[in-house]
Amino acid sequence: MDNTKLSDIAKALNVSVATVSRSLNNHPLIKEETKKAVKRVAERMGYQSNKIAAALRTGDSKIVGVLVPDMRQEETSYFIKILEQELRNLGLHAVFAQSEGMAKGERDAVKHLMKLRIDGLIFMPIHGSKNLRLHRDLKKQGVKEIMINEVAMLPHVHSLLVDYACGGAFAVRHLIDQGCEKIAFIGEQKKIESGFQKECAQQEVVHECFVEPDDWKQRKQDFDGIICVDDRTALKVSLLLGKERIQMPKQVALVSFGNTVLCELSPIPITSIDFQYDLLAKQVVNQMLLSLNARRKLPATTQYIPPKLIIRKSSQKAKIGWKLKVD
């Protein structure tokens, strides 16, 4: 019954409408057995809460908006899947939107989410986004905001970021451990590349960056270590190495980023950096819960999620411990 009302549930259980409402909202003064009975009958009768109407009455919708550039990206889709599960476990409802990688898309999506009376917004902006008015509007409506993978630089917005640069450094250190002296980076991701270049310079390792595997292919004999921007690129490189009869990892050690199922599809399983998007999602939800429950404004924080190196056969040239130059 799509038109089931609170009064219908109350009548079926011979309790007040207030008791039904409080039970459905997990009010602490209602006994657990009463809550279970109300929820059981509500489910049987097909009751669906009108969250927007409830928000207009109470000012608390329990709705959290999630805005990302593109849900089709593998890492993003995995992130929002974990995010939705964590929010649901806390009794919060997620509403998703995407900006299509455009500033106008961000503005339009935020306007739409604000009409739904969201309590919070988890926002993954496009790189270099400067929609300051957007953030002011969210603050004015009392929406708690968390920014993902960009430092907010705003006193009321918390930031949580995957430490891509650290991942680039981890990959370099691992290849140095394996005895690599000339390392190539293939792909385009500024933060990872920055970590790669900085660590190579610090460790005084010969290195060079290439946009595509075909660019590297012209000089493949010059390198004994390769770092690929993602697992898809690494799989392509591993197949190229096999075609050229270059032995991996004996002649060339290979590392990638993402730690997806593609790592196991290579003839030789690929070592990969896991950016721990599951941990990122959990930390984001924990911060959102703190912000929603805070009686006063919390000072903005910036938190980095550390990457994790998953070692497989593609890079195992040697079994030695890290011996690195440290500032």
323 lies in some domain:
no
CB atoms within 10 A of CB 127: 10
Lookup result for tokens 């440290």: 326
CB 285 within 8 A of CB 268: no
Percentage, residues of the chain above pLDDT 90: 36
Residues 66, 198, single domain; the answer is no
pLDDT at 59 over 70: no
The pLDDT assigned to 129 comes to 66
- How far is the C-alpha of 180 from the C-alpha of 248, rounded, in Å? 13
Residues 269, 178, single domain; the answer is yes
Residues 191, 264, single domain; the answer is yes
Cβ contacts of 160 within 8 Å, gap of 6 or more: 146, 147, 148, 149, 280, 283, 284, 287, 302, 303, 304, 305
Residues 193, 223, single domain; the answer is yes
Residues 124, 188, single domain; the answer is no
Range of the domain at 91: 59-163+278-306
C-alpha dist (Å) from residue 112 to 65, 80, 104, 265:
10, 19, 12, 41
325 lies in some domain:
no
320 lies in some domain:
no
The pLDDT assigned to 318 comes to 66
CB 51 within 8 A of CB 93: yes
326 lies in some domain:
no
321 lies in some domain:
no
* Beta strands at 158-162 and 271-274: parallel, antiparallel or unpaired: unpaired
Reported as a single tens digit per residue, the pLDDT across 257-280 is 999 889 988 889 999 999 999 999
pLDDT at 56 over 50: no
240: domain CATH number? 3.40.50.2300
Residues 150, 289, single domain; the answer is yes
Q: Number of structural domains, the chain? A: 3
Residues 213, 88, single domain; the answer is no
Residues 159, 200, single domain; the answer is no
- How far is the C-alpha of 263 from the C-alpha of 237, rounded, in Å? 12
Residues 171, 223, single domain; the answer is yes
86 lies in some domain:
yes
Cβ contacts of 273 within 8 Å, gap of 6 or more: 167, 170, 171, 255, 256, 257, 258, 259, 307, 308, 309, 310
37: domain CATH number? 1.10.260.40
The pLDDT assigned to 177 comes to 92
Reported as a single tens digit per residue, the pLDDT across 169-205 is 999 999 999 999 999 999 988 899 999 999 999 999 9
CB 18 within 8 A of CB 6: no
Residues 63, 150, single domain; the answer is yes
DSSP bridge pairs for 144: 120
Residues 159, 296, single domain; the answer is yes
Residues 128, 203, single domain; the answer is no
322 lies in some domain:
no
pLDDT at 325 over 80: no
